[in-house]
Amino acid sequence: MSHIDVGQENSAAIRLYYEDHGQGRPVVLIHGWPLSGASWEKQVPALLKAGRRVITYDRRGFGRSSQPSTGYEYDTFADDLHSLITQLDLRDVSLVGFSMGGGEVARYLGRHGADRIRSAVFMAAVPPYLLKTRDNPTGLEQKVFDEIKQAIVDDRPAFLSKFLADFYNVDDLLGDRISDEVVRLSWNVAAGASAIGSLACVDAWHTDFRADLKSISIPTLIIHGDSDRILPLEATGQAMQKQISGSRLAVIPGGPHGLNWTHWNEVNRELVEFLT
């Protein structure tokens, strides 16, 4: 198993698990909450076939990475990504961030710049800003995040079941574009994540990425489903396009939040074409 060290907590190293396959220009795939790098199962083969070197990794607290009690905010997540890129000496990189992973892409570019980065993809991503404030009146009230946190504290496994049902729009897509087995697999991965990290990440969801997005000048693709119940298109994908100069928005008809599985053919077509 391949790991890099990104820190230390007391007697234990904080290590990120990663996989590195193929040859060609590198693509780093950054997963969403509460899954792992394995959630890119439908994209990795297509990118390898297209001649790309494909790197996936598990965010701290998730998958096969360490589960520390700290560091679940976007400056640290971006620094973890920077450690991966620099320790593997990746250059001319395309960053692809799904959902929460889109925050890593935005904060990485805002914090570390684009010297090593060729292009960026935001897929069903969390930016620009989810919290309702005076200058962001269309955001969500703080109580929404507080209720999610309380539900995780009360019964994390039960919350994950409800979350994943909305993640994949199971009521509409089960038996057509998603199976019970895939939902169960996602639940198993999610349930194995750090309980501390799973809860702490909720506060990170309302990070303000607007300044990060405005700094982006590299080619950027935004992929979003028009049936996303977790991060609705209007509040995220469409708002991002307005803030990233020259970006292109690809809307996937009928796509839920977990469109990289349910609509993988459509997603892969957009992704491979953009990265060519």
Q: Which residue out of 31, 206, 224, 257 is catalytically annotated? A: 257
Q: How many domains does the chain have?
A: 1
What pLDDT digit, counting tens, does each position of 43-59 carry? 999 999 999 999 999 99
What pLDDT digit, counting tens, does each position of 230-276 carry? 999 999 999 999 999 999 999 999 999 999 999 999 999 999 999 98
- Give the closest residue to 186 by CA, choosing from 240, 117, 256: 256
Do 266 and 223 contact (CB within 8 A), yes or no? no
Q: What's the confidence (pLDDT) of residue 138?
A: 86
Q: Which residue out of 36, 99, 194, 247 is catalytically annotated? A: 99
- Residue 257: active-site member: yes
- Residue 31: active-site member: no
Do 231 and 256 contact (CB within 8 A), yes or no? no
Q: Which residue out of 79, 80, 212, 228 is catalytically annotated? A: 228
* Letter string b/e over residues 34-72, b meaning 16 or more CB atoms within 10 A of that residue's CB: bbbbbbbeebbebbbebebbbbbbbbbbbbbbbbbeebb
- Give the closest residue to 80 by CA, choosing from 52, 101, 53, 54: 101
What pLDDT digit, counting tens, does each position of 60-113 carry? 999 999 999 999 999 999 999 999 999 999 999 999 999 999 999 999 999 999
- Residue 172: active-site member: no
Mean pLDDT value across residues 14-32: 98
Confidence of residue 145 (pLDDT cuts 50, 70, 90): very high
**Residue 247 is part of which domain span?**
2-275
Compute the distance between CA of residue 267 and CA of residue 269 in angstroms, rounded to an integer.
5
Virtual torsion, Cα 234, 208, 76, 156, nearest 10 deg? -60
Domain with residue 93: its CATH number is 3.40.50.1820
pTM over 0.85, yes/no: yes
What pLDDT digit, counting tens, does each position of 172-210 carry? 999 999 999 999 999 999 999 999 999 999 999 999 999
Q: What's the confidence (pLDDT) of residue 1?
A: 65
Q: What's the confidence (pLDDT) of residue 36?
A: 98
